Every structure is written in C-alpha cells, then in structure tokens.
C-alpha cells in the first residue's frame, strides 16, 4: 500500500513536470511566431523606403529650402566660431587658393559656380548640378550634401545645426 502511494506520487510529479515542459515549449513556439511577425512588419517599411527616397527628389538648383525649415537670414553668424566648425572640413578641404585635397579648395567658394575649379576631378553630379554657391545654397547644401547633390563624392553627412552652417559660411566668405 505504502509502495503504491509512492508510485502514484512519483507519477503525478512526472506528469506535472511533463505538463510544465509542454507549456514551456508552447511558449517558445509562440515566441518565435511573434518574432517572425516582427521581422515581417519591420521589413515592410524598409521595402517602402526606396520609393519614399525617390519621391523626395533633390531640390532644384535655385531652391534653398532646408530640411529643418531654418533660413540663413534668421541667424546671426559668428565667423570666429565658423573657423572652429571648419576644422571638420579640413580633412578634405583647404581654404588656400589652388590647394586641392580630397575636396577642391574652398577659397572664394561663396558665389562660385559648382564644379568650377580647373584641375579638380569633380563627380558628374556636382559638375552638372547647375548650382551657384550663394550663401543660401551653401546653407541648404551643408545641411545634407547628398540630398542637394545626389551622387556627390563629398563623403560628409552634413552639419545638422543651422547655427554651425551659418557660422562656417561666414568664415568661408572672409577666411582669416
């Protein structure tokens, strides 16, 4: 009698374990199903992105609209700070005339036609952009160069702070 009671106790413990294990497996299956769903949902916007990128065409050569909605005229530029901002450009650009590096010399760039430094090997995108680097156009360009000149070989993400752009343009106008 005592032995059979022990047996029953053991059996029910085993059953309990088995049912727990089963529950665990179900949960795991649920988890992976949820994951699959997540992956599918995440993939959808990614697939839609190229279409969005295409519809957001580059601004025309004389447009000066910015992504952040700021205008150069609304800011008070600080050329001294612009010189500090220019440190980010120095890896590729010299301010001295005639000195081309990875990028063309930026001496006298304000007011100059894009792609006009003789002897510098520009991308077609830049050369044929039809842009004149007015202060306002530079302000737009420097926010996100690849948006304004799609296909540019200037590998620089941009200056997200409007004040930094205004400041560096003031420095480019009158370098010291």
Binding mask 27-66 vs ligand HEC (x if CB under 6 A, - otherwise)? Answer: ----------------------------------------
Cα 17 → chain centroid: 52
Coil, helix or strand for 32? Answer: helix
The residue (of 66 and 152) whose beta carbon lies closer to ligand HEC is 152
Ranges within 76-115 binding ligand HEC (CB under 6 A): 88-89, 91-93, 102-104, 106, 109, 114-115
We find the least distance from the C-beta atom of residue 86 to ligand HEC, in angstroms, to be 6
Single residue of 82, 95, 122, 162 touching ligand HEC by CB under 6 A:
122
Tokens of 42: 């995440």
**Cα angle at 103 between 99 and 108, to 5 degrees?**
60
**Cα angle at 37 between 32 and 38, to 5 degrees?**
95
Which residues, including other chains, have CB under 8 Å from residue 54's CB and lie 6 or more apart? Answer: none
Whose structure tokens read 């952009």? 129
Q: Does 154 bind ligand HEC (CB under 6 A)?
A: yes
Q: Are 123 and 152 in contact (CB under 8 A)?
A: yes
Segment interacting with ligand HEC (CB under 6 A) among 2-10, 22-30, 40-48, 123-131: 123-131
What are the residues binding ligand HEC (CB under 6 A)?
Answer: 88-89, 91-93, 102-104, 106, 109, 114-117, 122-123, 125-126, 133, 138, 142, 152-156, 159, 168
């Amino acid at each position: 009698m005592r032995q059979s009671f022990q047996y029953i106790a053991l059996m029910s413990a085993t059953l309990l374990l088995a049912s727990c294990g089963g529950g665990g497996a179900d949960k795991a299956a649920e988890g992976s199903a949820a994951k699959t769903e997540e992956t599918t949902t995440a993939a959808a916007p990614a697939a839609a992105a190229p279409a969005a990128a295409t519809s957001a065409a580059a601004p025309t050569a004389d447009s000066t609209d910015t992504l952040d909605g700021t205008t150069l005229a609304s800011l008070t530029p600080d050329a001294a700070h612009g010189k500090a901002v220019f440190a980010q450009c120095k890896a590729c650009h010299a301010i001295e005339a005639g000195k081309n590096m990875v990028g063309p010399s930026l001496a006298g760039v304000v007011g100059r036609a894009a792609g006009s430094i003789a002897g510098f090997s520009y991308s077609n995108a830049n050369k044929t952009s039809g842009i004149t680097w007015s202060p306002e156009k530079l302000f737009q360009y420097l926010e996100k160069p690849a948006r304004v000149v799609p296909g540019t070989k200037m590998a620089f993400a941009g200056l997200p702070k409007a004040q930094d752009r205004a400041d560096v343009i003031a420095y480019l106008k009158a370098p010291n």
